[in-house]
Amino acid sequence: MVTDCPHCEYHKKRAQLWREEAYKQAGHPLPERGWVGLSQENFLEACQIAERGNYLVAFQRIQQLLKEKNT
């Protein structure tokens, strides 16, 4: 299981906020980003977790993966 580095996540979020602010100040609309879903590998990983009866852990893993891909 991948663990998130709190420092990396902090800086990634800061960079995103700076980019949004720069677009606003320049008068440009914020660029729309497309939704990124789970890869088949990620989906199968979550299914394997669920098969062991750990449904909550499987759903948390899905949520974590989607956050990583879409933020």
Q: What is the pLDDT of residues 10-43, one digit of tens each?
A: 888 888 888 888 988 999 888 787 888 999 999 9
Q: What is the pTM of this model?
A: 0.55
How many residues are listed for the chain in this entry? 71
Residue owning tokens 């990634």: 12
Dihedral, CA of residue 41, residue 61, residue 1 and residue 14, to nearest 10: 110
Number of CB atoms found within 10 A of residue 65's CB: 19
Handedness of CA 29, 9, 55, 52 (dihedral sign): positive
How far lies 7's CA from each of 10, 12, 14, 62, 66, in Å?
A: 5, 9, 11, 22, 19
